[in-house]
Amino acid sequence: MQQNRSQVIERNGLFELEAGSDVLDSPRFNHDMAPTKVRERTWNKWHITALWVGMSICVPTYTLGGVLTAYFGLTVGEALLAILFANIIVLIPLTLNAFPGTKYGIPFPVLLRSSFGILGSNIPCLIRALVACGWFGIQTMFGGLAIHLFLGSVFEGWKSLGGTGEVIGFMMFWALNLWVVIRGAESIKWLETLSAPLLVAVGVGLLVWAMPNVSMTELLAIPAKRPEGASVVSYFAAGLTAMVGFWATLSLNIPDFSRYAESQKAQIVGQIMGLPLTMFLFAALGVVMTAASVKLVGVTVSDPVTLIGHIQSPVWVAVAMALIIIATLSTNTAANIVSPTNDFQNIAPKVINRTKAVMLTGFVGLALMAHELLKKLGLIVSDISLETVYSNWLLGYSSLLGPIAGIMVVDYFLIKKQQLDLAGLYRDDVYPAWNWNGFLAFGVPVVLTLLSLGSDAFSWFYSYGWFTGSALGGLIYYGLCAMRAQPSAVKSAV
């Protein structure tokens, strides 16, 4: 017989929900977004480490050094330091926002119901989802190119397809990504655990191939592309902000993964071991490979897929492309599909299940890449490049996401004091439909960021957008909650 009232059970500091009819019949609940049971939280520190290795080793990471030197005016050494420091910094919101996911087993959209309201949570969720869908499209473009080059190395006639072959590869890779996520969290866990050692092997292999053809001394001595005599501080800070923005998205939706962690120690240690060093080393590899590409293949090539495509041996091209396909798949499924899948479900959980949300993510990502796909088919002509798109996004979207990260941390640790009404997050009678404190704290930094674009005096507010946004968002939220003396909405069940 189904119980009427939900109960919350604690097991060694982790909480799980025994859902009654009050939650099961709620329009805010479906089984895909339900809190994980303690027995389902099976990811140890090595699984979390593998997750970050799998997500960090990807084509965009490889190109980060080039982005910082070309667009942000840094030297190679400064660029690599910015990447390392940024990923140490981003560990702070990643680790803090992972806490409630591990403790309560809840995904990102459900956690946002505490700070933005049961219905209001959809606004920041959709902001996050749109960015993820864009990145999904960009990564799928790289994966599709790898499939095209793989098939070209195996079947000689495939090369003649040109851009059409790349579009076919895109659609094949697109379908493969969706299939993995539809299969669920264990499928992603298996993929990341399998791919991590393979990806490390790829990096070592590329390094062995490149090192005889590059001088590290000469590489580090290349002058910065900024005005002579200009202070390094402002350029470094802008580059640092952009690199923080690279994982600003995951610092929000990390509960989507930490809800499967077996303990807080596992998620903390796993993230520390998996993120900063992997990002630094693979970005450094990208800098070395790009510098060596002239001697290796005769031209400067800034992405590994195209570089390996220049190799004359079909066998090595096929092997390398297969590994790059795995690398891009492991990044794309975890970093760019899981979050929007949960975000879209949050709109109407009884109507949109995981399969429908995955397909919706896929079609939005496809629509965002329609321009590039039409270019490859020769149907339109355009000078807009993918590199320009995602290098500009890094700074822009981090400014929008910073306040959300600050609000989430302040709400959970300072306002709610790490105590949530687990059942209440899935009903309409505990937390408000719209938490205007959250929206005011989010809106003020965003408006100031937009205004700063037209002002030379306040351009720093945009340039350091993630830092200014997260700090100001968190401070405003805390101040509003303190003034209104908002109750913590904690019931005796917890």
pLDDT digits (tens, 9 = 90+) for 152-178: 888 888 988 988 999 999 999 999 999
Range 179-206 average pLDDT: 81
C-alpha dihedral (154, 160, 166, 168), degrees to nearest 10: -80
What pLDDT is recorded for position 491? 47
pLDDT score of 390 more than 60: no
Q: Contact at 8 Å (CB) between 461 and 452? A: yes
What pLDDT is recorded for position 97? 96
Instruction: Give Cα separations from 82 to 54, 286, 347 (angstroms).
Output: 21, 15, 37
Please name the residue that has the structure tokens 């030197």: 69
* CB-count exposure of residue 230 (10 Å: 0-12, 13-18, 19+): exposed
Identity of the amino acid at 431: Y
Instruction: Give Cα separations from 449 to 236, 251, 401, 465 (angstroms).
Output: 19, 20, 12, 7
What pLDDT is recorded for position 387? 59
Determine the Cα–Cα distance for residues 370 and 126; give it in Å rounded to an integer.
20
Ranking 103-107, 245-249, 330-334 by mean pLDDT, the lowest is 245-249
Confidence of residue 438 (pLDDT cuts 50, 70, 90): very high
pLDDT score of 494 more than 60: no
Determine the Cα–Cα distance for residues 417 and 436; give it in Å rounded to an integer.
20
pLDDT digits (tens, 9 = 90+) for 314-324: 887 788 788 88
Alpha carbon 175 to its chain's center: 20
pLDDT score of 118 more than 90: yes
Range 202-217 average pLDDT: 81
Determine the Cα–Cα distance for residues 492 and 487; give it in Å rounded to an integer.
14
pTM: 0.86
What pLDDT is recorded for position 492? 42
pLDDT greater at residue 233 or residue 15: 15
What pLDDT is recorded for position 453? 74
What pLDDT is recorded for position 20? 93
Q: Contact at 8 Å (CB) between 107 and 33? A: yes
Instruction: Give Cα separations from 154 to 166, 176, 313, 324 (angstroms).
Output: 15, 20, 11, 16
Confidence of residue 417 (pLDDT cuts 50, 70, 90): very high
Ranking 288-292, 393-397, 407-411 by mean pLDDT, the lowest is 393-397
Give me the helices (H) in 247-368, please.
248-253, 255-258, 264-274, 276-297, 304-309, 314-332, 338-347, 354-368
Range 88-107 average pLDDT: 96
Mean model confidence pLDDT for the chain: 86
Identity of the amino acid at 303: D
Identity of the amino acid at 93: P
In terms of Cα–Cα distance, which of 154, 204, 157, 200 is closest to 318? Answer: 154
Q: Contact at 8 Å (CB) between 387 and 393? A: no
| Tokens representing residue 392 in the block | 């500009």
* CB-count exposure of residue 224 (10 Å: 0-12, 13-18, 19+): buried
| DSSP one-letter string for 180-208 | HHHT-HHHHHHHHHHHHHHHHHHHHHHHH
Confidence of residue 392 (pLDDT cuts 50, 70, 90): low
What pLDDT is recorded for position 28? 96
Instruction: Give Cα separations from 488 to 109, 250, 257, 413, 419 (angstroms).
Output: 19, 26, 25, 11, 8
With a CB cutoff of 8 Å and minimum separation 6, the contacts of 265 are 45
In terms of Cα–Cα distance, which of 359, 383, 387 is closest to 371? Answer: 383
Confidence of residue 72 (pLDDT cuts 50, 70, 90): confident
What pLDDT is recorded for position 468? 87
Determine the Cα–Cα distance for residues 252 and 238; give it in Å rounded to an integer.
21
Q: Kindly list the structural domains of the chain, giving each domain's residue range(s) and its CATH number in brackets, ordered by start.
A: 41-383 (1.10.4160.10)
What pLDDT is recorded for position 393? 60
pLDDT greater at residue 455 or residue 177: 177
Neighbour-count burial for 377-392, b at 16+ CB within 10 Å, e otherwise: eeeeeeeeebbeebbe
